[in-house]
Homo-oligomer: A and B are copies of this chain.
Amino acid sequence: MKRPVKNAFEGKRALVTGGLGFIGSNLAHRLAMMETEVTIIDNLDPGQGGNLFNIHGIQDRVRVVHGDVRDAKTMEGLLKEQDYLFHLAGEGSHVGSMQAPEADLEVNALATLRILELCRKVTPGIRVLYTSSRQVYGRPQYLPVDEKHPLAPVDYNGVSKLAAAMYCMVAWQVFELQTTVLNLTNVYGPRMRVKDGRLTFIGWWIRQILEGQPLEVYGEGRQLRELNYVEDVVQALLLVAAEPRTAGQVYNLGGEKSISVLELATMLVMINGKGTCKQVEYPSNRRRIEIGNYTCDISKINAHVGWSPSVNLQDGLQLTLEFYRKHWQEYW
């Protein structure tokens, strides 16, 4: 990593929405280590990734508010005097968004809009980081996908995440609110939801393989993906937050290399030392919103803040399996 970021966070205040969830809690651990005053807001929605165990080890060093980011009064109180807002709370389930589209819109676009307006009101100098999704681009028209790729979501979740990201950009252009958007790809690692495949197939596979179940691969599993180990994503959030010149920018994250879904399953089995893969028919509700191959152009974030993924896939999967072997009782 090119820059030390500790100075930017030591003694500062940061609010992490969705901070009991996967990425939020990993970020909270890093912030706590840097002696940032961390406040977490999380509603522990059973459909999301929030888990109190995720802050095990830092529970005495962070303030946790059990609340909802849609609640303006709560958010207004929490935002006051914050230096950073890491807005990670939201609906990330593609299939879920097709089943409950209004809730998806509300928690992603409406809540984000409300929060941006509150920032303008109570803490206009705050640094805002929003995590959107590669899903805003839809089916790639070319690879790797850079930030200029046409925006054409293929599911409702992609629309609501995109609207939220665009609200961030408008708030920057019109009101000079210091917002930056990161488009995440498949993120994996310790503290992810592994209860089911609602948010990501990788979490589900982690659980399946540790339970001795075959890994289900939809169809031929040939579609390419890029995976980011969660610590690399946290590092991207910190590097970008610490660099004021990234305000008003959108950045794509991506992995060190692309891998097909089937190869990934095979790699997991290999790293685990045992297990099997099973190819099953593509469920129709997933096939309709499947985006095909996806690879990421990360040259923009690399040029602006020197970020690139540092954990290779094999090591990342190894670390993830170890974490869940040890702590599975907290996540099953």
Residues of A within 8 A of B (CB): 98, 101-102, 105-106, 109-110, 113-114, 117, 148, 150-156, 158-160, 162-163, 166-167, 169-170, 173-174, 288-289
Is the pair A102, B110 in contact by a Cβ cutoff of 8 Å? Answer: yes
- The answer, among B98, B110, B117, for a CB contact under 8 Å with A174, is B98
Contact A169-B152, Cβ < 8 Å, known A102-B113, A102-B114, A109-B163 = yes
Contact A154-B173, Cβ < 8 Å, known A102-B110, A113-B105, A117-B101 = yes
Q: Which residue of B lies closest to A156 (CB)?
A: B170
How many monomers of this protein are in the complex?
2
A44–chain B nearest beta-carbon distance, Å: 25
> Considering the chains assembled together, what is the distance between the CA atoms of A282 and B158 in angstroms?
36
- The answer, among B106, B113, B169, B174, for a CB contact under 8 Å with A288, is B174
Contact A113-B98, Cβ < 8 Å, known A152-B169, A159-B170, A170-B156 = no
> Considering the chains assembled together, what is the distance between the CA atoms of A322 and B113 in angstroms?
43
Is the pair A166, B174 in contact by a Cβ cutoff of 8 Å? Answer: no
Query: Can you list 21 A-B pairs with a CB-CB distance of less than 8 A?
Result: A101-B117, A105-B109, A105-B110, A105-B163, A109-B163, A110-B110, A150-B151, A151-B151, A152-B166, A153-B166, A154-B170, A154-B174, A155-B170, A158-B166, A158-B170, A159-B163, A159-B167, A159-B170, A160-B163, A162-B163, A174-B289
A316–chain B nearest beta-carbon distance, Å: 32
Q: Which 7 A-B pairs have the closest CB atoms?
A: A163-B163, A159-B166, A174-B288, A151-B151, A159-B163, A101-B113, A159-B167
Enumerate chain B residues within 8 angstroms of A169, measured Cβ to Cβ.
Answer: 152
Contact A156-B167, Cβ < 8 Å, known A113-B102, A174-B289 = yes
Enumerate chain B residues within 8 angstroms of A170, measured Cβ to Cβ.
Answer: 153-156, 158-159
Is the pair B153, A150 in contact by a Cβ cutoff of 8 Å? Answer: no
> Considering the chains assembled together, what is the distance between the CA atoms of A166 and B101 in angstroms?
13
> Considering the chains assembled together, what is the distance between the CA atoms of A155 and B289 in angstroms?
29
A169–chain B nearest beta-carbon distance, Å: 7
Enumerate chain B residues within 8 angstroms of A174, measured Cβ to Cβ.
Answer: 98, 154-155, 288-289
Enumerate chain B residues within 8 angstroms of A113, measured Cβ to Cβ.
Answer: 101-102, 105, 156
> Considering the chains assembled together, what is the distance between the CA atoms of A155 and B109 in angstroms?
14
Q: Which residue of B lies closest to A151 (CB)?
A: B151
Is the pair A150, B150 in contact by a Cβ cutoff of 8 Å? Answer: yes
> Considering the chains assembled together, what is the distance between the CA atoms of A113 and B98 in angstroms?
11
- The answer, among B102, B148, B162, B163, for a CB contact under 8 Å with A150, is B148
